[in-house]
Amino acid sequence: MDMKASKKKLGIKERYAHMTRGLGWEPTYQPTEAVFPYDKYEGIKIHDWDKWVDPFRLTMDAYWKYQGEKDRKLYAVIEAFAQNNGHLNITDARYLSAIKLFWQGVSPLENYVVQGFARAGRHFRGEASRVACQMQAVDELRHYQTQTHSISNYNKYYNGFHSQRHMWDRVWYLSVPKSFGEDALTSGPFEFLIAISFSFEYVLTNLLFVPFMSGAAYNGDMSTVTFGFSAQSDESRHMTLGIEAIKFLLEQDPANVPIVQGWIDKWFWRGSKVLALVGMMMDYMLPKRVMSWKEAWEIYAEENGGALFRDLARYGIRPPKGWADACEAKNHISHQVWLLFYEYGGAAAFHTWSPTNEELDWLSAKYPETFDKYYRPRLEFLRDKHARGERVYQGTLPTLCTTCQIPLCFTEPGDPTKISHRETVHKDEKYVFCSDHCQEIFGNEPEKFVQSWLPVNQIYQGNCFKPDVDPTAPDFDPLKAVLEYFNYNLGRDNGEFEGSEDQQNFAKWRGQAVNN
Amino acid sequence: MSVNALGPYEFAPRDAVKNFHGNILVNFCWDRHVLIAAPFAVALSPGMTLRQAITNVIVPSIAFHPDAAKIDWNTVTWEKDHKAWQPDLDKSLAENKVGHKDYLVFITPNLQGLNGAGL
């Protein structure tokens, strides 16, 4: 019997059509509005969902194939890293603090984004957009997993990596990325898309991933470099989805423009605040530095972002409202945040330290207008105090911004010795903010932000102690009780790097690796 | 403006004064002394005098600043709600009308911070 000749393979366009729109159907026993209840209430008008096209035209079958291939390579490297004691090849044990910060504060955010895209993938009614969102949800889950598998190797040897999930919901500085993620997750699906796909993945992601991954490469951390590379091709797809999403929304209806503009204003500002943590990492936590935070901001935000907003001007979109203030802050925020963590170093689950003279000189050269005048004297003063045996540990809790939840360590634009603060009274209740833009974000959605779980305020309300703690006991130490509630191993996870267990162990083990 | 939502969206403020066990939350910022990395938020009894709050909480928290020991609290000037404010240090917070989550700035014009540069 003759075999029937199979039909020619489908071209990429046809396959994309079958594997996206071809998977959709019209509901028969429920009205469409009941099946998709969430894609109208934000006010976004979509007239033709078929105009959404994924430029990669990626379909699920091809997706599994690519990702499987990447995972095979990645896990071979992770295995080799673990077997060959790759952790001893990093430049210096101070570098571990950068990875701790990533693990504690960025990886859980990946997990939130999984949830957000899974929801967007369910609630958009256009099939192509749903497929793209589902794939991004799976991507982000893969990133969370690969980060877990790569970084777990460090947890075998060093402190501060042990209680990520527990700390995420409790620790004061982790409430910054957590509240950012939860604000996005509790938005409508279109706002989520603009928040994460556009404002974060497209405008700001290079400021997160390039510094961390280049930092890892510069500092001999092959494990992190490899998960970074493995994520890189996903990230470029996510950026493309971000730009595709915004153009689609803007082209569908002119009434979408002001709504989208408002979200860009909000999410650019929120993202720039979260990235202050990355700025500190780049300028202070990498023993071998890649570039300054200011340089990274100039390339990835000012140049690339500037070009993007010139391109979007034809739709009637202008740069985000906080743009000028965020650009002015490039000279300050990394220093302000590092000094904050240094002074509150007793309460952070990573180590802080005083920069060496060579590092101070590097910062002076990178920040000629601000460093010597405003930051070097502070760092040297604190270093001298430490040398005299008086390491500064601030024990009184700081005021937090109701919106971004960062302690009020930032100064007025153009006035670097004046702490910036704003207040709003809403329904007889006062709220404090770090800036005009955080205040405005609150003003647009006060009902949302009156719920902010501000760690400092929660501590004073007595909600941050272990259940068996007795605050009336004569020897009750509230700060210690809070750190125990965070699950810190006191004296090992927190505090000064000099003399820390991580510093000592790394020196000892590396010594064994290179000497008899 | 308000939140865009499908249904009623109204929540009690999480930091209402009733959650603070009889205390109020008060913020203190030392003007132009940014070596103190951030202002402080402290829970205080409204019956406490402002001087007690300063002595018990603020003085120890800023003690590492070289200007701290030189402060003459009787000549410090104050701001509340971004406006000049004249409290009586020996009256209670309540009598001075310090409210829950107020943000108080204390200014020491003769002390100019580290290097005289506002640090």
What residues in B contact A372, CB-CB < 8 Å? none
Domain extent listing, chain B: 19-116
A395 near B CB under 8 A? yes
Give how far Cα A82 sits from Cα of A388, A488, A502, B55, Å.
Answer: 40, 25, 18, 54
Whether B101 sits inside 8 A of A418 (CB atoms) is: no
CB atoms within 10 A of CB A173: 24
Q: Is A419 on the interface with B (CB under 8 A)?
A: yes
Residues 6+ apart with CB under 8 A from A262: A444
Query: Following CA atoms B81, B86, B92, B95 in sequence, which dihedral angle do they give, to the nearest 10 degrees?
Result: -80
Rounded to the nearest angstrom, the minimum Cα separation between A396 and chain B is 6
Of B88, B22, B23, B20, the closest CA to residue B54 belongs to: B88
The alpha carbon of B27 is separated from its chain's Cα centroid by a whole number of angstroms, namely 3
Chain A nearest C-alpha distance from B11 (Å): 6
Among A168, A162, A169, A112, which Cα is nearest to A141's?
A112
Q: Architecture of A49-352+394-514 per CATH?
A: Orthogonal Bundle (1.10)
Residue A392 · residue B64 · CB < 8 Å: yes
Question: Which residue among A38, A408, A417 places its CB closest to the CB of B119?
Answer: A417
Residue with tokens 């634009």: A413
Residues in chain B, total: 119
- Pairwise CB contact (< 8 Å): B103 & A432: yes
Listed by number, the residues of chain B in 7-46 with a beta carbon closer than 8 Å to a beta carbon of chain A are: 9-16, 19-21, 23, 25, 27, 29, 31-32, 34-43
A424, β-bridge pairs: A431
Q: Which of residues 43-102 of B touch A (CB under 8 A)?
A: 43, 57, 60-61, 64, 66, 81-82, 99-102
CA distance A506 to A289: 20
Token pair 């390491």 is found at A391
CB contact under 8 A, A451 and B99: no
C-alpha to C-alpha distance for A295 and A363, rounded to whole angstroms: 12
Of A369, A427, A424, A89, which is closest to residue A225 (Cα–Cα)?
A89
pLDDT band at A6 (very low <50, low <70, confident <90, very high): low
Question: CB-CB: which of B15, B34, B82 is closest to A417?
Answer: B34
- Taking CA–CA distances from A373, the nearest residue in chain B reads B117
pLDDT, tens only, A490-503: 999 999 999 999 99
Domain B19-116 top-level CATH class: alpha beta
C-alpha span between A31 and A27 (Å, rounded) = 7
How distant, in Å, are the alpha carbons of A237, A270, A273, A401 from that of A438? Answer: 30, 8, 10, 8
Taking each helix axis from N to C end, the angle separating A436-444 and A256-274, rounded to the nearest 10 degrees, works out to 130
Whether residue A13 has pLDDT greater than 80: yes
Closest CA to A243 of A300, A303, A198: A198
Question: What is the pLDDT confidence band of residue A163, given thresholds at 50, 70 and 90?
Answer: very high
Q: What pLDDT band is residue A470 in, cutting at 50, 70 and 90?
A: confident
Contact A397 B41 (CB under 8 A): yes
Local confidence band at A1 (pLDDT 50, 70, 90 cut-offs):
low
Q: Which residues of A114-123 are buried (b: 16+ CB within 10 A; e: fewer)?
A: bbbbbbbbeb
CB contact under 8 A, B42 and A396: yes
For residues A157 and A506, give the distance between their C-alpha atoms in angstroms, rounded to a whole number.
9
> How far apart are the CA of A394 and the nearest CA of chain B, in angstroms?
7
Q: Is B51 exposed, middle or buried (0-12, 13-18, 19+ CB in 10 A)?
A: middle
Q: How far is CA A261 from CA A3, A113, A257, in A?
A: 59, 22, 6
* pLDDT tens readout for residues A44-79: 999 999 998 877 788 888 889 999 999 999 999 999
Inform me whether the C-beta atom of residue A416 falls under 8 Å from chain B C-beta atoms: yes
Q: Tell me what pLDDT residue A15 has.
A: 86
Q: Do A419 and B38 touch (CB under 8 A)?
A: yes
Q: Which residue of chain A comes nearest to B33, CA vs CA?
A: A417
Whether A514 has a pLDDT exceeding 80, the answer reads: no
User: What amino acid occupies position A89?
Assistant: N
Residue B48, phi then psi, degrees to nearest 5: -70, 145
Measure in Å the smallest separation between the Cα of A274 and chain B Cα atoms. Answer: 17
Nearest CB among A43, A407, A453 relative to B38 is that of: A407
CA-wise closest residue to A334 among A300, A384, A296: A296
Q: How far is B74 from chain A (nearest CA, A)?
A: 23
For residue A166, the model assigns a pLDDT of 97
H-helix segments, A124-255:
127-155, 164-168, 175-185, 189-192, 205-218, 222-252
Burial classification of residue A442, based on how many CB atoms lie within 10 Å of its CB (0-12 exposed, 13-18 middle, 19 or more buried):
buried
For the residues A263-292, what does the mean pLDDT come to? 95
Instruction: Answer whether residue A194 shows pLDDT above 70.
Output: yes
Pick from A394, A443, A456: which is nearest to B41 by CB? A456
For residue range A308-357, list pLDDT tens digits in order. 999 999 999 999 999 999 999 999 999 999 999 999 999 999 999 999 99
- Tell me whether A374 touches chain B (CB under 8 Å): yes
pLDDT tier at A227, thresholds 50, 70, 90: confident
Distance (Å) from the C-alpha of residue A374 to the closest C-alpha of chain B? 7
Q: What is the pLDDT of residue B62?
A: 98
CA distance B90 to chain A (A): 23
Name the residue among A300, A142, A342 with its Cα closest to residue A214: A300
Sign of the alpha-carbon torsion through A56, A59, A65, A69:
positive
Average pLDDT, chain A: 93
Smallest CA–CA distance from A408 into chain B, residue:
B38
Radius of gyration of chain B (CA): 17
CA–CA gap between residue A248 and residue A124 (Å, rounded): 13
ipTM of this complex: 0.98
Within 8 A of B41 by CB-CB distance, chain A residues are 397-400, 456-457, 460
- Work out the average pLDDT over A254-258: 97
Tell me, what's the pLDDT at A5? 66
Average pLDDT over residues A184-204: 91
pLDDT tens-digit readout, B66-108: 999 999 999 999 999 999 999 999 999 999 999 999 999 999 9
